[in-house]
């Protein structure tokens, strides 16, 4: 069987940074957006939740589209839409227009991460897929670490619109990279992948696959815990704890350092430690970090270290869970890798969007709502991983003599 050409690692990294760049560079501007658009915290946070919701929904279509027509054309269309929607964000004059533009931006942005997973599944065997994802994640952690710092600087020098100029340019660069450097990796397009009945059957079969559901839900709720901080962290640190907007990016970079450490650990240990064990360790670390975070908030310990230190531990756990959980979830489903990647991404983003919405909805000017939701998500991740373990096959009864 013909093996597809492996794409440049730099291009794969750029594809998966679509989400972090589109979310994190905008974070330092969020508290000021309430003044710019004359609205409240919950409406401003909808610019994040709408992005995540659109990101999740579009994957259900983009995955099968790539199974039918190939990864490359879908990527080109997605990055083109991203550029157009970023320009619409730039021109927004109301919070409602910005929320709608962010939704459209997400439809294009999700092509990068969902198809990068499918491309890796196309071009790499399972053990190398986990290692490649970890190496990519280790390098691309620079994006969420630098993006808030850059966003804070752009906001201070210009205003919130400068962030969307950067997003537009980033999308254009990625479109050019796909056009010139990516060869098609889906060598066996599925002519029936877009039939509604086929899509429903495929997704239903994946949801009944115990191992897929186990890793997907564990990964999704770990990401929900992370996104709760991404969504609410700037409000907590800037508005509640008094951190200057220009300094927020440095604290965020410290937290992302935990993610980098987890990814590097996965990259070094992937060939020696099975993915299931790495995910189990990561989930344990996440619970151990998030429960004290909620406890400190419950007892009104509202300091920067009381938030940042547990979040470093939580992001460390994510660095262990994401690459290993993704590889383990998708590996058995090579013939529908695009659809499997899409469903995984949909559940991950939909659950995270709900968590982010709850953080904004329950905001009461303290650290407790964010901390409680983070802890709850981490505990649900652990429950899913334990309760959805493969049932042992019973031993056959002894033969009668």
Output the 3-class SS for 70-107.
CHHHHHHHHHHHHHHHHHHHHCCCCHHHHHHHHHHHHH
Residue 184: burial class (beta carbons within 10 Å; 0-12, 13-18, 19+)? middle
Q: What number of H helices and E strands is found in the chain?
A: 17, 0
| pLDDT for 398 beyond 90 | no
Torsion of CA 58, 60, 63, 69, to 10 degrees: -80
Over range 1-19, report the average pLDDT.
Answer: 78
- For residue 393, the model assigns a pLDDT of 46
| pLDDT for 171 beyond 90 | yes
- Note the Cα 145 to chain centre separation in Å: 14
Over range 181-190, report the average pLDDT.
Answer: 82
Please, what sign has the CA dihedral across residues 348, 162, 111, 184?
negative
Q: What is the pTM of this model?
A: 0.72
Least confident of 130-144, 237-251, 358-372: 130-144
- State pLDDT tens for residues 15-43: 888 877 888 788 788 878 888 888 887 78
- State pLDDT tens for residues 281-290: 999 999 999 9
198 versus 211: which is more confidently predicted?
211
- The count of residues in the chain is 401
Buried-state track 161-179, b at ≥16 Cβ within 10 A, e below 16:
ebbbebbbebbeebbebbe
Write down all domains in the chain, each with its CATH number in brackets: 9-182+206-387 (1.20.1250.20)
């Amino acid at each position: 069987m013909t093996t597809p050409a492996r794409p440049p690692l730099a291009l794969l990294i750029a594809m998966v940074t679509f989400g972090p760049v589109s979310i994190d560079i905008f974070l330092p501007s969020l508290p000021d957006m309430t003044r710019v658009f004359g609205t409240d915290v919950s409406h401003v946070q909808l610019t994040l939740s709408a992005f995540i919701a659109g990101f999740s929904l579009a994957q259900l279509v983009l995955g099968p589209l790539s199974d039918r027509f190939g990864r490359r054309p879908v990527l080109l269309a997605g990055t083109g839409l991203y550029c157009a929607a970023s320009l619409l964000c730039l021109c927004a004059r109301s919070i409602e227009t910005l929320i709608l533009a962010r939704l459209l931006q997400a439809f294009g942005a999700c092509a990068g991460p969902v198809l990068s997973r499918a491309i890796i599944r196309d071009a790499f065997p399972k053990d190398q897929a986990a290692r490649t994802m970890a190496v990519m994640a280790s390098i691309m952690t620079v994006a969420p670490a630098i993006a808030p710092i850059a966003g804070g600087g752009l906001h201070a020098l210009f205003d919130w619109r400068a962030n969307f100029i950067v997003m537009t340019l980033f999308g254009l660069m990625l479109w050019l990279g796909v056009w010139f450097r990516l060869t098609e990796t889906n060598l066996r397009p599925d002519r029936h992948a877009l039939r509604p009945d086929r899509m429903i059957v495929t997704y239903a079969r994946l949801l009944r696959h115990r191992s897929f559901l186990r890793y997907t839900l564990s990964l999704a709720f770990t990401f929900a815990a992370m996104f709760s901080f991404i969504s609410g962290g700037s409000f907590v640190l800037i508005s509640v704890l008094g951190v200057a907007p220009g300094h927020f990016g440095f604290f965020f970079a410290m937290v992302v350092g935990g993610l980098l450490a987890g990814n590097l650990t996965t990259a070094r240990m992937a060939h020696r430690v099975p993915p299931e064990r790495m995910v189990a360790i990561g989930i344990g670390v996440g619970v151990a970090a998030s429960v004290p975070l909620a406890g400190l908030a419950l007892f009104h310990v509202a300091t920067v270290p009381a938030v940042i230190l547990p979040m470093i531990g939580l992001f460390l756990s994510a660095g262990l869970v994401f690459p290993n959980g993704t590889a383990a979830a998708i590996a058995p489903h090579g013939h529908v890798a695009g659809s499997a990647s899409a469903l995984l991404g949909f559940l991950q983003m939909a659950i995270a969007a709900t968590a982010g919405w709850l953080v904004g909805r329950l905001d009461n000017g303290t650290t407790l709502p964010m901390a409680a939701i983070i802890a709850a998500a981490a505990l649900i991740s652990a429950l899913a991983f334990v309760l959805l373990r493969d049932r042992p096959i019973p031993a056959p009864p002894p033969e009668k003599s």
